[in-house]
Amino acid sequence: MSSRITGLDVFRISLLAFAASAGMLCMPAAANDAVVTEKLVLETDEQYLQRMQWWREARFGLFIHWGPVSLIGTEIGWSRGGPWYRQITPESGGPIPIEKYDNLYKEFNPTLFNANEWVQLARDAGMKYLVFTTKHHDGFCNFDSKLTDYKITSPLSPYQRDIVAKLAKACHENELRLGFYYSQPDWHHPDYRTENHSRYIEYMHGQIDELLSNYGRVDILWFDGLGNPADDWDAERLFRSIRRLQPGIIVNNRCGLPADYDTPEQVVGGFQNHRPWETCMTLGDQWSWKPDDKMKTLKECLQSLVRAAGGDGNFLFNVGPMPDGRIEPR
């Protein structure tokens, strides 16, 4: 067997080890466990545990980072030039000039995207939920937001179809739990981190309302606030709105409040069952697709999966689809 694996093989093989480890080593938190959470609304510990039960039992999910940046194969968001540019690895590329990066969507035409194929890939791997990037730090929206023209359904986009709508439909029809990744930082929006930041907050809240109102049941809201405090997003008001629109939703800890679960990134910690947690990790070197990305070895994948299971955590495994919409079969 080759020492390096990719694509569907890693999902199918790693699932066996993960499922076995989860069954042997992990049990959902009982009602008397000391679960620490910031309540989004007033609820008892028992109600909280019931709301979290499916997620704790699911254990394994698919993370998808995708957008126009896949056309050039650099890292999503971070390779965009400007004050927030950060070259994560020597191979990540960039900085891409802002004018070039922000106009990639006019060429982004993923005609081979098939939401059902993505969902089936996750199901074949034994994954129980999927988290998709509705908007990353670069501000581009993979959904039909009425609050911006910087989106996949823009008249300037050759594709002009709502990717999130297609994916939500496929998840609902195939009984795969649905999660939306949403970046609060938005390096494209003119009001972000300016004296008009309050206007940006209203824009952000409005987009969350759209996502939680227009796509049926949403099971997870996966924020990515880059460690900024809750006041930067008016998070308490936002959380009340979230739970009003989707009472059963589960929210991660990246909006300045602890919320429902913790999210270590690219690392797996030790055993912890006093508070739910989920490790997110890339299959390759970066979150979005790049040609000839260096994939993790089979041994590395299995070690991470087993350690997550043994630590009573979830594992969210990331892939970046190609610019045509396919998940690379290599």
- The confidence score (pLDDT) of residue 302 equals 82
pLDDT value of position 1:
41
pLDDT at 221 over 90: yes
What would the mean pLDDT of 232-258 be, rounded to a whole number? 97
φ, ψ at 299 (rounded to 5°): -60, -45
pLDDT confidence of residue 303: 87
Tokens 């009472």 found at: 247
Tell me the mean pLDDT in the region 88-103. Answer: 76
Residue 323 DSSP label:
T
Q: What integer best gives the mean pLDDT of the chain? A: 88
C-alpha to C-alpha distances, 310 to 71, 125, 204, nearest whole angstrom? 38, 19, 37
Give the model confidence (pLDDT) of 229-238 as tens digits: 999 999 999 9
3-state secondary structure of 265: strand
**Chain segment 269-314, per-residue pLDDT in tens:** 888 888 999 999 999 999 999 998 999 988 888 888 889 989 999 9
Strand, coil or helix: what is 61? strand
3-class secondary structure, 49 = helix
Q: Is the pLDDT of residue 132 over 90?
A: yes
Q: Determine which of 29-43, 85-99, 181-195 has the lowest per-residue pLDDT on average.
A: 29-43
Query: Which range, of 58-67, 235-244, 257-266, 302-311, averages the lowest pLDDT?
Result: 302-311
Q: Is a pLDDT exceeding 60 seen at residue 15?
A: no
Average pLDDT over residues 21-50: 57
CA angle, corner 57, sides to 54 and 59, nearest 5?
115
Task: Tell me the sheet residues that pair with 250.
Answer: 220
In this model, does residue 111 exceed pLDDT 60? yes
Which domains are present in the chain?
Answer: 7-319 (3.20.20.80)
pLDDT of the residue at 72: 96
Buried b (16+ CB within 10 A) or exposed e, 99-115: eebbebbeebbbeebeb
What pLDDT, on a 0 to 100 scale, did the predictor assign at position 91? Answer: 52
Dist. CA 218–CA 247, nearest whole Å: 10
The confidence score (pLDDT) of residue 83 equals: 74
Give the mean model confidence (pLDDT) for residues 113-128.
97
| Residue 92 in this model has a pLDDT that exceeds 70 | no
Which residue would you say has higher pLDDT here, 50 or 272?
A: 50
Q: What is the pLDDT of residue 43?
A: 87
Given pLDDT bands bounded at 50, 70 and 90, which one contains residue 5? Answer: very low
Residue 190 has pLDDT above 80, yes or no: yes
Higher confidence at residue 166 or residue 84?
Answer: 166
